[in-house]
């Protein structure tokens, strides 16, 4: 039996047969393997449970998989766990020694899934971004601000509650509105900008898959060099404008192409790949 400690509930469907979800330190079962979706110290309660489970099962030589979803495992923690039968994974292609690459996985949807979604002409937001902009400002301004400046009749929004008031007011002058939350069923397109570091280490924010499930099309900025083969690429505001102003709704076709590219050329993003890779460790 495989034990799973995963407060996000993202991994349970990988183990379709013999698994048990562990949520406390009471009545710990005998395991053949342990999967940990890593929790950092900011979540004190779950971090304490995680530490107890790791100490209990690693000392019993149970094969253990640590998926460092947010890349928060500290070096001292890694060195201690590495003494045991532990396998480390993270969603970055070129980052830390000792960690294998396992990106966020996605279900491959078919065209039938999009029949239930609202069409492009019913979506009120042309371009949107949801995320902290602290280390991404240059890219946000290069894509979103420039586009909104030159196409003031288009609706552009973002969600970042940590942005300074001065910056919020500046963006409002360019008709870029701050919102408290984004319903992706109302959005046509998004450009998944990121930080310079994440571009270089090959980290792809999983929100790109979440928005696709709602019928929103992610257009990959050319700075995201490792993933240009999966998505429709954009190099500047002119590329964004071409898609936003297209007279024919091609959003479903674009999303379908993304899923086909993953299926044919990037299987590491599939649920089946994650299942096989983790299964080999056990």
Per-residue pLDDT of 243-274, as tens digits, reads: 999 878 888 889 999 999 999 999 999 988 98
Distance CA(23)–CA(6), nearest Å, equals 8
**pTM attached to this predicted model:** 0.91
pLDDT band at 115 (very low <50, low <70, confident <90, very high): low
Compute the half-sphere exposure of residue 40: CA atoms within 13 Å on the CB side of its CA: 9
Tens digits of residue pLDDT in 151-199: 999 999 999 999 999 999 999 999 999 999 999 999 999 999 999 999 9
Alpha helices in 40-157 (DSSP H): 44-58, 75-81, 137-140, 146-150
- Per-residue buried b or exposed e for 216-241, using 16+ beta carbons within 10 Å of the residue's own CB: bbbbbbebbebbeebbbebeebebbb
Tens digits of residue pLDDT in 198-222: 999 999 999 999 999 999 999 999 9
Alpha helices in the chain (DSSP H): 44-58, 75-81, 137-140, 146-150, 165-173, 196-201, 207-212, 237-244, 251-265, 271-281
pLDDT computed for residue 26 by the predictor: 86
Distance CA(75)–CA(195), nearest Å, equals 22
Residue whose C-alpha is closest to residue 222's, from 209, 208, 236, 212: 236
pLDDT computed for residue 13 by the predictor: 60
Match 């003031």 to its residue by tokens.
152
The dihedral through the CA atoms of 104, 107, 112, 113 has a sign that is negative
pLDDT band at 117 (very low <50, low <70, confident <90, very high): low
pLDDT computed for residue 248 by the predictor: 82
Question: Please, which residues bridge with residue 21 across strands?
Answer: 4
CATH number for the domain whose boundaries are 111-265: 3.40.50.2000
pLDDT computed for residue 76 by the predictor: 96
pLDDT computed for residue 156 by the predictor: 98
β-strand pairing of 64-67 with 217-221 = unpaired
Tens digits of residue pLDDT in 89-113: 999 999 999 999 999 988 887 666 6
Distance CA(250)–CA(24), nearest Å, equals 48
């Amino acid at each position: 039996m495989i034990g799973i400690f995963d407060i996000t509930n993202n991994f349970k469907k990988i183990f379709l047969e013999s698994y048990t979800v562990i949520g406390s330190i009471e009545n710990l079962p005998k395991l053949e393997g342990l999967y940990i979706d890593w929790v950092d110290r900011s979540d004190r309660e779950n971090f304490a449970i995680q530490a107890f489970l790791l100490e209990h099962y690693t000392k019993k030589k149970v094969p253990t998989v640590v998926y460092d979803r947010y890349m928060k495992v500290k070096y001292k923690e890694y060195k201690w766990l590495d003494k045991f039968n532990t396998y480390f994974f993270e969603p970055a292609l070129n980052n830390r020694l000792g960690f294998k690459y396992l990106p966020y996985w996605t279900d491959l949807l078919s065209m039938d899934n999009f029949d239930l979604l609202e069409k492009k002409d019913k979506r009120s937001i042309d371009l949107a971004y949801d995320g902290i902009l602290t280390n991404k400002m240059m890219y946000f301004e290069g894509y979103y601000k420039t586009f909104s400046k030159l196409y003031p009749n288009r609706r552009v929004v973002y969600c970042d509650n940590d942005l300074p008031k001065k910056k919020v007011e500046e963006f409002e002058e360019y008709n870029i509105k701050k919102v408290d939350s984004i319903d992706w069923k109302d959005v046509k397109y998004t450009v998944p900008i990121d930080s310079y570091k994440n571009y270089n280490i090959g980290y792809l924010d999983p929100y790109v898959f979440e928005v696709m499930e709602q019928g929103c099309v992610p257009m990959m900025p050319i700075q995201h060099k490792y993933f240009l083969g999966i998505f429709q690429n954009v190099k500047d505001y002119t590329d964004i404008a071409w898609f936003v102003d297209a007279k024919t709704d091609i959003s479903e076709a674009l999303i379908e192409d993304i899923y086909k590219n993953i299926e044919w050329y990037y299987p590491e993003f599939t649920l089946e790949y994650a299942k096989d890779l983790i299964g080999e460790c056990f």
